[in-house]
Amino acid sequence: MLFIAGFSAVYESITRIIEILNNTVDPINQVPLVVIVEGIAILSAIGLFVYQRHVGRSFNNLTIISQSVDSKNHIFIGSAVILGAVLSLFNIFWVDAIVGIFIGFGILRDAFGLLKDAKSSYDGEETDFSKYKTVFGDYVNINHLETFRLWILFSVHNKDANTQEELVKSFNDTFKNNYIPVISELGLLPNKDLDFNSNFDEIIIHLIDNNWLEKDGGIYKITESGLNHLDVILNDFNNFDVKFSDSLLLKLSNEN
């Protein structure tokens, strides 16, 4: 279906360009109605995309992910139609046709990508589902890193963990080898399968670059700026909305 949609979008766009060049293009009638209908269709496609991508990533199901790609393309196509309808009011007819060509090639690119993944899966190879981003996926990963960095500041200051070995042990004891009610049940422990030792430099470099932590030989020390940053974050918990956080945790648990 994606191949048909892609070739169809490219064909229709090229045909429209030819009609424009020959001055035979028909203006769009009922522009407000077109905008309303396509707007509703776009909102529906957005809802489907979010749901399908979420379910597809949760179960690593390539079929459902392909449906989310189709929904995403409907969003682009609907947007191009609205753009063309609005510009037609100003007798500008070629912009949506050009955009349509790019959208068509984008659909074909997605189709070939999905075909490649389907073939790899059929051949028994592992499919990289991480490239199919979810709405909250990047946000969750970023906040996992922030969690680790906050824990480093806290451990250096309060737990006398000053070396890489001590901090890695603290990571493993806290995020891997520990059971936290509700959080563990929801699978919300940040990156429980992460190799902290191998990824230690990626986690800690941000703290050093921001002058929150300094390294003296193999010893890490928290700076005055780091203490202030840690105090600001910890003080935020005094005004923490537990109801909101519970709702957010339940939502993010499905994106983890």
Contact 35, 79 (CB under 8 A): no
Min mean pLDDT across 10-14, 136-140, 231-235, 246-250 is at: 246-250
pLDDT above 70: residue 19: yes
Q: What is the mean pLDDT of residues 201-212?
A: 86
Map residue 154 onto helix, strand or coil. helix
Tell me, what's the pLDDT at 194?
A: 59
**Model confidence at 57, in pLDDT bands (50, 70, 90)?**
confident
Q: Which is more confidently placed, 127 or 180?
A: 127
Per-residue pLDDT, 35: 92
Q: Greater confidence, 89 or 184?
A: 89
Residue 2 predicted with pLDDT over 50: yes
Q: What is the pLDDT of residues 216-225, one digit of tens each?
A: 888 999 999 9
Q: Say what the pLDDT of residue 40 is.
A: 95
pLDDT: which is higher, 192 or 118: 118
What percent of the chain stands above pLDDT 70? 78
Averaged confidence pLDDT in the chain: 78
The answer to whether 96 and 84 are in contact (CB under 8 A) is: yes
Find, among 106, 94, 111, 76, the residue nearest to 13 by Cα.
94
The span from the CA of 16 to the CA of 96, in Å, is 9
CA distances from 105 to 10, 15, 63, 165 (A): 7, 15, 21, 50
DSSP 8-class letter at 216: E
- Angle 89-96-135 from CA coordinates, rounded to 5°: 115
Question: In a 10 Å sphere around its CB, with 0-12 CB exposed, 13-18 middle and 19+ buried, how is residue 207 labelled?
Answer: buried
Residue 216: predicted pLDDT = 86
Residue 248 phi, psi (nearest 5): -65, -40
Three-state SS string across 50-117, please? HHHHHHHHHHCCHHHHHHHHHHHHHHHHHHHHHHHHHHHCCCCCCHHHHHHHHHHHHHHHHHHHHHHH
Backbone angles phi, psi at 23, to 5 degrees: 55, 35
**Average pLDDT of the segment spanning 157-179:** 78
Structure tokens at 208: 């050093």
The neighbouring-strand residues paired with 215 are: 220
Q: What is the pTM (predicted TM-score) of this model?
A: 0.56
pLDDT per residue as tens digits for the range 98-156: 988 999 999 899 889 888 888 887 787 777 776 777 765 554 454 567 777 888 888 88
Are 186 and 249 in contact by the 8 Å Cβ rule? The answer is yes
Beta bridge partners of 221: 214
